[in-house]
Amino acid sequence: MSLTYTFSLKKLKKENTDQLNNVVTQIYWTKTATDENGNSATIPGGTPFNISSADPDNFTSYENLNDEIILSWIPNSNDDEIFRTIIKEQLNPEINSSNFPWNVGVATT
């Protein structure tokens, strides 16, 4: 199963330092994997940044940031197996005993 990934930026936190304003200190995102049949799974994530590591000489002002720049800060990870499992579970969900067709109208405990 081949997976294609898409990231989406959801929100961020920012703080000021003595030298810099609006330093991004946390990003919240979702990562969606889609297989060749169009089945997909999405997981949320977050990436924190240490404000003390902000470099005034290599700083992009908040006004000049965009999704592409910010999402490039997310570390690469190989989540293929996690997403394959989630997609498989979505396609083949476990059936709760209360949903058995022969239990229609029968009270379960």
Q: Which tens digits make up the pLDDT trace of 60-107?
A: 999 999 999 999 998 887 778 888 888 888 877 776 777 677 766 656
In a domain, 109, yes or no: no
DSSP state of 87: H
Domain-embedded: residue 101 = no
The whole-number pLDDT of residue 1 equals 63
Number of domains observed in the structure of the chain? 1
User: What is the mean predicted confidence (pLDDT) over 50-56?
Assistant: 91
**Would you say residue 5 has pLDDT above 80?**
yes
Sign of the CA dihedral 73, 12, 49, 16?
positive
Is 103 inside any structural domain?
A: no
Confirm whether pTM is higher than 0.75: no
Between the alpha carbon of residue 67 and those of residues 27, 38, 44, 98, the distances in Å are 11, 24, 16, 44
